[in-house]
Amino acid sequence: MSAPVIIALSGGVDSAVAALLLKRAGHALEALHMTNWDDDEDGYCTAAADWQAAREVAAELDIPLHRVSFAAEYRERVFRYFLDEYAAGRTPNPDVLCNREVKFGACLEYVRRLGGDRLATGHYARLAPGPGRPRLLRALDRGKDQSYFLQQVPASALERALFPLGDLPKSEVRELARRAGIPVHDRPDSTGICFIGERPFREFLATYLPARPGPIVTPQGEQLGTHDGLMYHTIGQRDGLGIGGTRGHVAAPWYVAGKDLARNALIVVQGHDNPMLYSSALQTGPVSWLAAPPDGTFDCLLQVRHRQAPVPARVEPGVAGARVVLDAPLRAIAAGQYAAFYADEECLGGGVIVAADCAAQRYN
């Protein structure tokens, strides 16, 4: 008997339909539900409801269901980094790290313990054969594409991955679930921080990082107010500054343009399209390459946020990272975000942004 495929069954409609498609294709199939957050004192974590939904899906599809907690691995490999980055004034993306360290790290190791051959998930992405390694491609439904979140997953892990939803639009996924009588066909999509759930972010962060008030200032040094901590703000942010209209300035919104870590100062400017919010180049840390990069400098499409449209850029790979020069300045690039490189539909890899070439952000 061939080794089973293990489907990561979250309790949502995407992983449920991925399981449905795999079963219809004739795979020997078992399901694994992982819980990775063990602190639900405030009631925002949906772990109990997710587990019950996963049980209902597994029962409907008549597949064995396993359960495991990776809470310790998540806190050590993802959440600690998440807090350290915010404490340092950067804007991390825990979902990217979670995919590498938990879903295609600890979970993939557990799949082997279950005797599984491959790990399937409900990610919207595609895999295609490549020369000696799989090629990670965007999903056909560009509005749901999650290849950006998979940029740090090693090629060796992708070799054992299956993404059954990569060729489907989300509307068809829900319709397939409804027609098959899957009980979660109309369950809302999950949002918020990976595994932690949707909750008031500022209050959540404050339970782990103490407030550190400092001045809110213009690039010229004029103080306009006080912030509670640089970790509560990111580049391009408008809401939550609490400075409103200020004497001597036009009646226009203020936006975060940079952070002066040495003075614990938040730099703000007026106007959504203020030039100080734009960067013409950035520097990444070490790049995780899914495909061997071309020799020397090469052109590609750059994406620095999940829902940001890719933009043309030129990449200069180096030993410690990559220098990226954009064809046109891009708004609100923040240190700590991930830069993903694409060749048409293929994700080549990416790295953490360590600096952006913007006057207001040179304090970093």
Q: Per residue in 222-281, pLDDT tens?
A: 999 999 999 999 999 998 898 877 777 888 899 999 999 999 999 999 999 999 999 999
pLDDT at 44 over 70: no
Secondary structure string (H, E, C) spanning the chain: CCCCEEEECCCCHHHHHHHHHHHHCCCCEEEEEEECCCCCCCCCCCHHHHHHHHHHHHHHHCCCEEEEECHHHHHHHHHHHHHHHHHCCCCCCHHHHHHHHHHHHHHHHHHHHCCCCEEECCCCEEEECCCCCCEEEECCCCCCCCHHHHCCCCHHHHCCEECCCCCCCHHHHHHHHHHCCCCCCCCCCCCCECCCECCCHHHHHHCCCCCCCEEEECCCCCEEEEECCHHHCCCCCCCCCCCCCCCCCCCCCEEEEEEECCCCEEEEEECCCCHHHEEEEEEECCCEECCCCCCCCEEEEEECCCCCCCEEEEEEECCCCEEEEEEEEEECCCCCCEEEEEECCEEEEEEEEEEECCHHHCCC
Name the band, by pLDDT with cuts 50, 70 and 90, for residue 362.
very low
Instruction: State pLDDT tens for residues 70-79.
Output: 999 999 999 9
Catalytic residue list:
98, 194
CATH superfamily ID and name for 211-272: Adenine nucleotide alpha hydrolases-like domains (2.30.30.280)
SS3 of 34-60: the string is EECCCCCCCCCCCHHHHHHHHHHHHHH
pLDDT at 176 over 50: yes
Which superfamily does CATH assign the domain made up of 276-361 to?
Translation factors (2.40.30.10)
The string of pLDDT tens digits covering residues 293-314 is 778 999 999 999 998 999 999 9
Q: What is the pLDDT of residues 188-227, one digit of tens each?
A: 877 555 555 555 678 888 889 989 999 999 999 999 999 9
Q: How would residue 7 be classed by pLDDT, with cut points 50, 70 and 90?
A: very high
pLDDT on residue 188? 81
CATH code: domain 5-201 is 3.40.50.620
Task: Give yes or no for a contact between 214 and 230, defined as CB atoms under 8 angstroms apart.
Answer: yes
The whole-number pLDDT of residue 204 equals 82
Share of the chain above pLDDT 90, in %: 78
Residue 49: pLDDT band (50, 70, 90) is confident
| Residue-level pLDDT at 40 | 56
Summarize the confidence of residues 130-144 as an average pLDDT.
93
Check whether 363 has a pLDDT greater than 50: no
Q: Where are the domains of the chain?
A: 5-201, 211-272, 276-361
